[in-house]
Amino acid sequence: MTTSAHPSIRDRVFRPHPYIVGSKIVVLLAFGAGVLLAGITHAAAIAMPIAWALVILAARIAYRELTTFLVVRGDTLLLRRGLIFWREDQVPLHRVDVQTIQSLPGRLFDYGHLTITCNDRTLVVRNIGEFRRLQEEIARLQRIPAFWRSL
């Protein structure tokens, strides 16, 4: 990852909360193993496709959430997704509407959801960890006057 051209600006990286993502994956794999075990025990042919669907869903969640991260670089948000095929969305903070959603467990474990609306695009990032620090960083960057951004 490249850093900013200005030496005093550091990139801040925010990733999905590992415990939330891990718990989703563990629950899906446990249900898949339970369905598979029940299918073997009761000789039910329908259990195998259901078990495979749960395993594939767990792999999809693992890929989508563990390869997504948000980088705050200067006054720009970079949303990077993917491992093999990268997709990067650059959003200047002074031209966006940022909505943060944090539930009660999110406040306890410091994670939340971020919805970024710019022009006609909407980007949603779920289960971002270190959410309080991200909120402070976005609020600080949105308070910077437009004059100082041009320098």
User: What is the count of structural domains for the chain?
Assistant: 1
Work out the average pLDDT over 121-142: 88
Q: Is residue 149 part of a domain?
A: no
pLDDT of residue 150: 53
pLDDT of residue 151: 52
Q: Is residue 97 part of a domain?
A: yes
| Domain hosting residue 40, numbered range | 12-143
Helix-, strand-, coil-residue percentages of the chain, each rounded to 5: 45, 30, 25
Q: Is residue 26 part of a domain?
A: yes
**34-92 pLDDT per residue, tens:** 999 999 898 888 898 999 999 999 999 999 888 998 998 877 888 899 888 889 988 88
Please state whether the predicted TM-score (pTM) of the whole model is above 0.95.
no
Measuring CA to CA, how many Å separate 6 from each of 3, 73, 95, 136, 151? 8, 10, 21, 21, 11
CATH of the domain at 21: 2.30.29
**4-40 pLDDT per residue, tens:** 455 556 788 999 998 999 999 999 999 999 999 999 8
pLDDT of residue 45: 86
Q: Is residue 124 part of a domain?
A: yes
